[in-house]
Structure 1
Amino acid sequence: MYTSIRRMIRPVTLFFKKCGLFYLVSLVCCATAAGEPVELSDCDTCPTMVLIPKGSFELRVPPWGPGHPHDEGYFYPVTFTKPYAIGKYEVTVGDWGLCVMDSICPQVETKRLMREELPVFNVTWSEANRFAKWLSKKTGFRYRLPSNAEW
């Protein structure tokens, strides 16, 4: 199924840091059948992506400042005219390690041992961008940080 889907789409991949964990996202230029989860990957060692169909939703903007009720705030509409893909799992220590081995990304500073299958953390925005550029060069697709709505 992957090869037939790959012929239909041309992904532009995105990279994101949220709450210390990293996710990958790809924008694609055509829709797939609704209801059927589609997984894809740009290379053998690249993270698995899940295709999200185009559509609309309301993004909640929380209230600012202390003392505001939880339900205060407002919503604004967001529409995606093209489907996109997001990493099925967080970027792992093993994924990050491949970038470190290529001397592009720095070794992650931590006081505890990190297993390869666990999510990478303690990575700065700048380091995340460096990882995205490395992955772009490796795959031939463009990686970047997504917007809040894309997340």
Structure 2
Amino acid sequence: MWQKLLVVCVLALPALVLTAQAQNNTPDIKLAGVVPKNSAEQFELAFWESIKDSTHISDYEAYLKAYPKGRFAALAEARIARLRAAPGKPATQAETPAAAPPKPAPAREPAREPARPAPAREAPVATAAPVPSRPAASAGAEFKDCPNCPALIPIPAGSFTMGSNNSDPSEKPAHPVTIKAGFAIGKTEVSVQQWNACVEAGACQKVALSAGSNANAPIRDVSWDDAQQYLKWLSSTSGHTYRLPTEAEWEYAARGGTGSRYWWGEQMVTGKANCKDCGQPWSSDAPATVGSFAANGYGLHDTSGSVWEWVADCWHTSFKDAPSDGRSWEASPCTVRVIRGGSWREGAAYMVASTRFKYDASVRHSQNGFRVARNVK
């Protein structure tokens, strides 16, 4: 159910041929033709493309649950049979879940980078000195509401231009937004250690982690619904009402007081974010420890790359008629929520401050995490 993260190359090419092969002696299945944007067929193709070389049974099981009659169902079943027959097959997160969500997402370590085209907005990586951040409105000093609470940064009220007219259609139109009241947001994404404090309290589900996972790595493979459990526990523990940031609050904070393409300027430079094109430290297997890269003008780390971050809003395909006051944009029904910021597995093009995508609220994926927010008086 990779459909929120993946935008297949069919949008940029007059014709597309995708090949999926269960094993070396299995004939290729060729898919030709332009697939409509945001179509169910596109999402299925994107999902398969992102897992087709995986060595994890859970990836193919997730595909079959999402597309039981999909065009790659037979190939997925063949891969599962082959992996189960192989000696010393790798363990998967989905084989020992705490609670299976309605539509499990693929846990894709060590899957390849999702098969997505580079958006037109992508700029070449600069090798010269980093572009300095623009002056930002002053944010407050960081604070914590309890020993196990994430560190928070107070963000001042203000106005900014949300979205972009020069990138993906979902980010259009660029529009003015006024954040009328200041709020506090996590200095970093919620870490494994912070999540585990909730697990130990019996309020959150344990997340199966890869061997050698760092306690200060961002928690990931959590759904929007899982994040709500953590926020409920954190609110009761701290005495303050925690929530996810709204999409407008998230972008406002992520920009760090700038209006540029990236929070650090108009050109992509290395050493600013955790992505595959962004410089060290970087590993294809897992994101870096939270706070490993420079903070933006508001003192926030990892708003670009690291893990995709859940926000409060329901997904809308564009910003047409979006609220201008920074509130969460709801819908009924609302089963799909917004994720922001890209992940360590994406390229430089996805580090742009306006980058957004969608995911089912009940689905867990190994590239999805979150940071917290709360109101301040």
One fold, TM greater than 0.5? yes
TM-score computed with the length of structure 2 as normaliser: 0.28
**1:28-39 matches, cutoff 5 A:** 35=138, 37-39=140-142
Return the alpha-carbon distance in structure 2 between the equivalents of residues 145 and 120 of structure 1. 15
Structure 2 residue 146 is matched with structure 1 residue 43: yes
Q: Which amino acid aligns with 2:207?
A: V
Structure with more of its chain in strand, by fraction: 1
Aligned residue for 1:56, secondary structure, equals strand
Query: What are the Cα deviations for residues 96-142 of structure 1, in whole angstroms up to 9, with x where unaligned?
Result: 00000011111112343321111111011111000000001101111
Structure 2 residue 197 is matched with structure 1 residue 57: no
2:193 is aligned to: 94
**1:1-151 matches, cutoff 5 A:** 35=138, 37-61=140-164, 62-64=167-169, 73-151=172-250
**Contact 2:204 2:230 (8 Å CA) reproduced:** yes
Identical aligned pairs, as a percentage?
Answer: 38
Return the alpha-carbon distance in structure 1 between the equivalents of residues 139 and 239 of structure 2. 27
Q: Which amino acid aligns with 2:141?
A: V
Distance apart, 1:36 and its partner CA: 5.9
Instruction: Give the superposed CA RMSD.
Output: 2.0
- What runs of 5+ residues in structure 1 fail to find an aligned partner? 1-33, 66-71
Return the alpha-carbon distance in structure 2 between the equivalents of residues 82 and 108 of structure 1. 35
Return the alpha-carbon distance in structure 2 between the equivalents of residues 50 and 146 of structure 1. 13
Number of aligned pairs? 112
- Structure with higher Rg: it is 2
